[in-house]
Structure 1
């Protein structure tokens, strides 16, 4: 009489639990760190927009009085925009100002908390905004 061979399934549940635990940690990391990155992206977008508006408010009053034309003082606009972003802790700032518009860009990084476990250390975020002078 021959014996039927049975498959040895010892440890299968342990492998499943380990695999699911790792998967759940990665998903939790995406939720926590991804949410933090989205929040930081929204913050940098708001800050860049505020800097562009501050720059666009640097109008040349003398030119307006003489020519009834509203123009931006590019040097002052750039200084104002940089000051706004520097006061909020940004270091990678780009400002381009003309007599009609002010364009501001900034970059930053957001450190991860949970995704460090799988070797993902940070998210790079950036934003750009443009504002133009206007009379309200």
Structure 2
């Protein structure tokens, strides 16, 4: 009885050549890739949202710089282009990002584009040192007469 059992065990171990170990190694590699994609992808989306947020807030900061000379006389309510661009750039600098600021010709709309980079955790291991992100924001002056 014991002899049969030993032969059965010996036959089983001869057929085992490590195929299961390769399978598990492949599964582990795929799992790490998926985890890395989820973590870096989510963080990249977060960085993109942050860039949009900073652009929008910089546009609002710039749009608050109205031209007092035209507003007081009642000519028009428009932004002072130089002060608006300076305020928006100051906001961006305070938050550590670069961007482009422009004021529309009518002086009613300020547009900001933010350029930033995201440094991934896992993707940096395979050669992606940084991922560029861009955010856009616009502020338009609104006013109500007699309100």
Q: Shorter-chain-normalised TM-score: which range?
A: 0.7 to 0.9
The answer on 1:102 being equivalent to 2:114 is no
RMSD of aligned C-alpha atoms?
Answer: 1.6
Residue 113 of structure 1 corresponds to 121
Find 2:91's aligned residue among 75, 81, 84: 84
The answer on 1:132 being equivalent to 2:140 is yes
Question: Does the residue aligned with 1:32 lie in a helix, a strand or coil?
Answer: helix
Deviates more, 1:39-48 or 1:71-80: 39-48
Task: State the Cα distance separating 1:68 from its structure 2 match.
Answer: 4.3
- Give the TM-score taking structure 1 as reference length: 0.86
Residue 73 of structure 1 corresponds to 80
Unaligned 5+ runs, structure 2: 1-14
Question: Does the residue aligned with 1:127 lie in a helix, a strand or coil?
Answer: strand
Q: Distance in 1 between matches of 2:27 and 2:127?
A: 19
Contact 1:26 1:115 (C-alpha < 8 Å) held by counterparts: no
- Give the TM-score taking structure 2 as reference length: 0.80
Q: Which runs of 4+ in 1 moved over 4 A?
A: none
Question: Does the residue aligned with 1:128 lie in a helix, a strand or coil?
Answer: strand
Structure 1, residues 58-77: CA drift from partner, whole Å, max 9, x if none? 10112012134211111111
Structure 1, residues 23-76: CA drift from partner, whole Å, max 9, x if none? 111111111111111111111111110000111111011201213421111111
Q: Which has the greater radius of gyration? A: 2
Q: Which structure has greater helix proportion?
A: 2
Aligned residues: 128
Residue 52 of structure 1 corresponds to 59
Task: State the Cα distance separating 1:120 from its structure 2 match.
Answer: 2.6
Task: State the Cα distance separating 1:22 from its structure 2 match.
Answer: 1.1
